[in-house]
């Protein structure tokens, strides 16, 4: 579903080159629920933005749903984002001027879908996240957890092949975070492929597989002696 | 189309939306009325007078030394002789006024001596047997004045011509069912027989308040014996400039007891026309300037507000891009948003424009606003809006999708 091979992302200024990702390799199979963890500045978000075609990369290869995306133009990338990827952001990123229904409708409109089908999908997605009764509410009238559920409904409405979640519970309190996480697990059980970037070890532990990024590279904490202590401690916390 | 969500979003930006719509409305109301007035003025600038302006000079002569009537008659006859002998002069006659002269005599014209029953007012031109040929007027019916019909009128005299030549428009008004030739009309207590009809000759006044009877001119066979006289000189083709210099010298050589203003004593009709419509031209320029400034202010307002909105919604644009919007989708979002505001503005502006026109009609006797001007104004404002929003909209379309992941 998502395969990056020797991928690199370099930010260049006049005086310095900074590698956000270096020789980055990852392979996410269809139906997997993968948590991507790592310290701040490790490259997690860069990975997610490249995975979501929000940014281009500097070198290497990236296949998304068997499509090599490096040579796609802006319109083709927009189309793939619209049809194959669902985004869940830490800050929810709902459009404050639009009500819940219209927010969920945004990606479907860009797909050129007819109104009756849009309505059916929107209401289906809202029912799925338990917010059908709030369709006419504006984001400001909802709690953080509800807003994130709307964002999940927006991501689900287009039936994407891949869900990318960036710290989906980062702005929520524990109870709301638990609700959102359970929803993601449910969606995964129904067959969705989910890649979730998180700081939260508890959240990461709920995923099927963990991928750790350090200094722009995927590392196996268990195998790498440099991080062995830290990994054991982190694993201990999770297990505890 | 994204009209519904755009309208929904605009409801959350009421102040800016209403401000721009109101600005567009006011601009439309003012600009299309201004365009209407400008066009009306420009049309007037080129309104034909009925005479062969390109070949004509007018000389304003004032006698010095207070000559008597008899003396003035002989002085005038001598001047006409002098002018005829100037090389390049084709014809000449003396008169009280001329088209575009903005002054002269106007009399009521009726079918009876009763002044109260006048059919219309007519501009009166003093003329002689050379007037038609000099002015280049086309006689469409009847005949010209004969030399023996030309009378003289001093300051104490009254206009009571035996015969008159009138314009086709006046003839049609007075005698709609039959030829005017041989028919009497009354511009005094005495009947004047219509002996000739000329195709077109506008009255001397250019002001719109005289417009109703601007085509109703009457030529009467008189020379006016007053200290101020106008000589109308027809020049041979291509000699206007040379003759302008020669006539002044020739008249002063013949008799120095006169004043011909060095500034505008001898004028071509191009100069006469320019002076006659100076106010109209000034008004057209002023109105154009105001219109351009208003359009610029409105355009700047749209650019400013849209730039502000783009800045404010940068993250939102990034989110839309992340959710699949192409650059074109973002561009068309802002263009459509502006179009919706502008359409609201022009609908309101159309009503205001008609209201303003009705007020101007009442206050200044302006004509009814032609729909074409409203349409032109609407198209101008809509295009202005789209043009003004283009740069900020293009900037918005370049917001990258990764903006969605940035925290501020």
Task: Give me the tens of pLDDT residue by residue for chain B, a chain 408 residues long.
Answer: 578 888 888 888 899 899 999 999 999 999 999 888 888 888 888 888 999 999 999 999 999 888 888 888 999 999 999 999 999 999 999 999 999 998 899 999 999 888 778 899 999 999 999 999 999 999 999 999 999 999 988 777 788 999 999 999 999 999 999 999 999 999 998 999 999 999 999 999 988 778 889 999 999 999 988 889 999 999 999 899 999 999 999 999 999 999 999 988 999 999 999 999 998 889 889 999 999 999 999 999 989 988 998 888 899 999 999 999 999 999 999 999 999 999 999 999 999 999 999 998 888 777 888 888 899 999 999 999 999 999 999 999 999 999 988 865
The CA distances from residue B187 to A97, B97, B158, in Å, are 77, 18, 11
Taking CB atoms and an 8 Å cutoff, what residues of chain B touch A83?
324
Q: Which of B8, B326, B328 sits opposite A98 (nearest CB)?
A: B8
Q: How far is B33 from chain A (nearest CA, A)?
A: 38
Position A105 scores a pLDDT of 95
End residue of a domain, out of B201, B222, B256: B256
Adjacent-strand bridge partners of A87: A164
Q: Does one domain contain both B83 and B34?
A: no
Q: Is residue B53 part of a domain?
A: no
Q: Does one domain contain both B105 and B24?
A: no
pLDDT at A212 over 80: yes
Token digits of residue B68 = 């008597």
Query: Best interface-test mutation with B: which of A51, A89, A95 has the largest number of B CBs within 10 A?
Result: A95
Q: Is residue B60 part of a domain?
A: no
The CA distances from residue B124 to B106, B150, B184, B197, in Å, are 6, 15, 16, 14
Q: Does one domain contain both B17 and B107?
A: no
Position B259 scores a pLDDT of 94
| Contact assessment for residue A63 and residue A161, using Cβ atoms and an 8 Å cutoff | no
Contact A147/B at CB under 8 A = no
Contact A54 B405 (CB under 8 A): yes
Q: Does one domain contain both B129 and B225?
A: yes
pLDDT digits (tens, 9 = 90+) for B56-67: 999 999 998 888
Higher-confidence residue: A75 or B45? A75
For residues A161 and B402, give the distance between their C-alpha atoms in angstroms, rounded to a whole number: 20
What is residue A58's DSSP assignment? Answer: S
pLDDT digits (tens, 9 = 90+) for A165-208: 998 888 888 888 888 888 888 888 888 899 999 888 888 888 98
Other Cβ atoms closer than 10 A to B140: 13
For residues B318 and A170, give the distance between their C-alpha atoms in angstroms, rounded to a whole number: 20
The full DSSP string for B160-215 is --SEEEEEHHHHHHH-SSS--TT-EEESSSSEEEEEEEES----S--SGGGGGGTT
Q: Is residue B56 part of a domain?
A: no
Helix H or strand E segment including B58: strand B56-63
Helix H or strand E segment including A217: strand A217-219
Position A197 scores a pLDDT of 92
Buried residues in A14-42 as b, exposed as e (16+ CB within 10 A): eeeeebbbbebebebeeebbbbbbbeeeb
Contact B324 A97 (CB under 8 A): no
Q: How far is B316 from chain A (nearest CA, A)?
A: 6
For residues B99 and B390, give the distance between their C-alpha atoms in angstroms, rounded to a whole number: 51
CA proximity to A49, closest of A4, A105, A94, A109: A4
Q: Does one domain contain both B299 and B384?
A: yes
How many domains does chain B contain in total?
Answer: 2
Q: How far is A60 from chain B (nearest CA, A)?
A: 20
Q: Does one domain contain both B217 and B107?
A: yes
| Contact assessment for residue B397 and residue B328, using Cβ atoms and an 8 Å cutoff | yes
Q: Does one domain contain both B103 and B205?
A: yes
End residue of a domain, out of B195, B221, B256: B256
For residues A128 and A130, give the distance between their C-alpha atoms in angstroms, rounded to a whole number: 6
Contact B324/A at CB under 8 A = yes
User: Which of left, alpha, beta for B120 (phi over 0: left; psi -120 to 50: alpha)?
Assistant: beta
Contact B402/A at CB under 8 A = yes
Taking CB atoms and an 8 Å cutoff, what residues of chain A touch B323?
81-82, 87, 106-107, 110, 154
Query: Best interface-test mutation with A: which of B16, B313, B323, B327 has the largest number of A CBs within 10 A?
Result: B323
Chain A residues 20-79 with CB within 8 Å of chain B: 45, 48-49, 52-55, 74-75, 78-79
CA proximity to B207, closest of B96, B365, B59: B365
Q: How far is B289 from chain A (nearest CA, A)?
A: 40
Q: Is residue B247 part of a domain?
A: yes
Contact A110 B316 (CB under 8 A): no
CB-hemisphere CA count at 13 Å for B1? 9
End residue of a domain, out of B193, B222, B256: B256
- Residue B252 in 3-state DSSP? helix
- Expressed in angstroms, the distance from the first to the final Cα of chain A is 33
Q: Does one domain contain both B132 and B191?
A: yes
Contact B323 A74 (CB under 8 A): no
- The radius of gyration computed from the CA coordinates of chain A, to the nearest angstrom, equals 18
Chain B residues 10-49 with CB within 8 Å of chain A: 11-13
Position A238 scores a pLDDT of 42
Q: Is residue B55 part of a domain?
A: no
**Mean pLDDT across chain A, nearest whole number?**
87
Taking CB atoms and an 8 Å cutoff, what residues of chain A touch B336?
none
Position B24 scores a pLDDT of 93
CA dihedral B202, B60, B282, B33 (to 10 degrees): -20
Contact A102 B321 (CB under 8 A): no
pLDDT digits (tens, 9 = 90+) for A87-143: 999 889 999 999 999 999 999 999 989 999 999 999 999 998 889 999 999 999 999
The CA distances from residue B160 to A117, B68, B201, B216, B241, in Å, are 91, 22, 21, 18, 38
Contact B8/A at CB under 8 A = yes
Q: Does one domain contain both B246 and B385?
A: no
Adjacent-strand bridge partners of B107: B122
Contact A98/B at CB under 8 A = yes
For residues B80 and B359, give the distance between their C-alpha atoms in angstroms, rounded to a whole number: 51
- Residue A4 in 3-state DSSP? strand
Token digits of residue B49 = 């007078």
What distance separates the 2 farthest-apart alpha carbons in chain B? 102
A136: nearest CA partner in chain B: B8
Contact A188/B at CB under 8 A = no
Position A239 scores a pLDDT of 39
Taking CB atoms and an 8 Å cutoff, what residues of chain B touch A98?
5, 8-9
Q: Does one domain contain both B36 and B76?
A: no
Q: Is residue B268 part of a domain?
A: no
For residues B181 and B141, give the distance between their C-alpha atoms in angstroms, rounded to a whole number: 7
Query: Residues A65-86: what's their mean pLDDT?
Result: 92
**Which residue carries 């009467």 as its tokens?**
B220
For residues A183 and A135, give the distance between their C-alpha atoms in angstroms, rounded to a whole number: 19
For residues B295 and A98, give the distance between their C-alpha atoms in angstroms, rounded to a whole number: 32
Contact A87 B326 (CB under 8 A): no
pLDDT band of residue A226 (cuts 50, 70, 90) is: low
Q: Does one domain contain both B401 and B311?
A: yes
Query: Best interface-test mutation with A: which of B1, B319, B320, B394 has the largest number of A CBs within 10 A?
Result: B319
Position A169 scores a pLDDT of 85
Higher-confidence residue: A20 or B41? A20
Q: Which of B316, B326, B404 sits opposite A54 (nearest CB)?
A: B404
Q: Is residue B270 part of a domain?
A: no
Sheet with A193-197: strands ordered across: A85-88, A162-166, A193-197, A33-37, A209-214, A217-219
Q: Does one domain contain both B221 and B192?
A: yes
* Domain extent at residue B322: 3-45+279-405
- The radius of gyration computed from the CA coordinates of chain B, to the nearest angstrom, equals 32
Q: Which of A55, A79, A97 sits opposite B9 (nearest CB)?
A: A97
What is residue A218's DSSP assignment? Answer: E
Angle at B295 between CA B291 and CA B300, to 5 degrees: 150
**Residue B167: partners with Cβ closer than 8 Å, 6 or more residues away:** B50, B197, B198, B199, B200, B201, B215, B216, B217, B218
| Contact assessment for residue B51 and residue B404, using Cβ atoms and an 8 Å cutoff | no
Q: Is residue B265 part of a domain?
A: no
């Amino acid at each position: 579903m998502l395969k990056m091979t020797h991928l690199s992302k370099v930010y260049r200024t006049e005086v310095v080159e900074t590698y956000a990702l270096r020789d980055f390799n990852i392979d996410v199979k269809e139906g997997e629920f993968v948590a991507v963890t790592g310290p701040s500045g490790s490259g997690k978000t860069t990975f997610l933005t490249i995975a979501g075609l929000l940014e281009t990369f500097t070198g290497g290869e990236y296949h998304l749903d068997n499509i090599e995306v490096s040579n796609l133009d802006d319109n083709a990338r927009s189309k793939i984002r619209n049809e194959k990827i669902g985004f869940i952001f830490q800050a929810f990123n709902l459009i404050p001027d639009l009500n819940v229904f219209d927010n969920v409708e945004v990606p479907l409109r860009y797909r050129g879908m007819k109104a009756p089908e849009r309505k059916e999908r929107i209401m289906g997605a809202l029912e799925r996240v338990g917010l059908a009764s709030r369709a006419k509410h504006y984001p400001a009238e909802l709690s953080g957890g509800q807003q994130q559920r709307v964002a999940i409904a927006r991501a689900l409405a287009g039936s994407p092949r891949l869900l990318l979640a960036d710290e989906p519970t980062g702005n929520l309190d524990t109870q709301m975070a638990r609700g959102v996480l359970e929803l993601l697990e449910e969606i995964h059980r129904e067959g969705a492929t989910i890649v979730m970037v998180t700081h939260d070890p508890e959240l990461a532990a709920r995923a099927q597989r963990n991928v750790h990024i350090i200094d722009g590279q995927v590392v196996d904490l268990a195998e790498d002696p440099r991080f062995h202590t830290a990994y054991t401690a982190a694993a201990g916390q999770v297990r505890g | 189309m994204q009209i519904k969500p755009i309208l929904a979003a605009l409801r959350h930006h009421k102040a800016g939306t209403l401000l721009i719509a109101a600005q567009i409305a006011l601009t439309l109301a003012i600009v299309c009325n201004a365009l209407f007035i400008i066009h009306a003025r420009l049309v007037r600038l080129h309104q034909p007078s009925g005479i062969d302006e390109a070949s004509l000079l007018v000389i304003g002569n004032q006698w010095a030394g207070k000559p008597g009537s008899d003396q003035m008659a002989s002085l005038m006859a001598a001047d006409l002789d002098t002018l005829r002998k100037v090389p390049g002069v084709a014809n000449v006659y003396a008169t009280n006024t001329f088209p575009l002269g903005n002054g002269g005599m106007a009399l009521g014209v009726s079918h009876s001596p009763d002044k109260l029953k006048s059919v219309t007012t007519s501009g009166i031109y003093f003329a002689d047997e050379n007037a038609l040929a000099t002015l280049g007027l086309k006689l469409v019916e009847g005949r010209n004045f004969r030399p023996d019909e030309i009378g003289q009128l001093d300051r104490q005299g009254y206009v009571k011509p035996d015969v008159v030549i009138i314009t086709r428009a006046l003839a049609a008004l007075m005698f709609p069912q039959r030829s005017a030739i041989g028919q009497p009309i009354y511009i005094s207590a005495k009947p004047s027989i219509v002996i000739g009809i000329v195709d077109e000759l506008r009255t001397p006044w250019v002001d719109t308040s005289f417009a109703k009877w601007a085509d109703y001119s009457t030529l009467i066979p008189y020379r006016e014996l007053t200290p101020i006289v106008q000589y109308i000189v027809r020049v041979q083709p291509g000699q206007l400039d040379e003759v302008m210099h020669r006539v002044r010298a020739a008249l002063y050589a013949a008799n120095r007891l006169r004043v011909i203003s060095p500034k505008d004593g001898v004028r071509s009709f191009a100069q006469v026309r320019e002076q006659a419509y100076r106010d109209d031209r000034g008004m057209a320029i002023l109105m154009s300037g105001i219109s351009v400034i208003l359009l610029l202010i409105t355009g700047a307002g749209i650019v400013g507000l849209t730039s502000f909105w783009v800045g404010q919604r940068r993250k939102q644009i990034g989110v839309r891009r992340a959710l699949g919007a192409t650059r074109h989708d973002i561009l068309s979002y802002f263009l459509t948003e502006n179009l919706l505001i502008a359409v609201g503005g022009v609908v309101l502006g159309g009503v205001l424009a008609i209201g303003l026109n009705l007020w101007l009609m009442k206050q200044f006797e302006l004509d009814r606003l032609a729909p074409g001007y409203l349409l032109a104004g609407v198209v101008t404002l809509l295009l202005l809006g789209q043009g003004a929003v283009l740069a900020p909209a293009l900037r918005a379309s370049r917001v990258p999708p990764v903006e969605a992941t940035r925290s501020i």
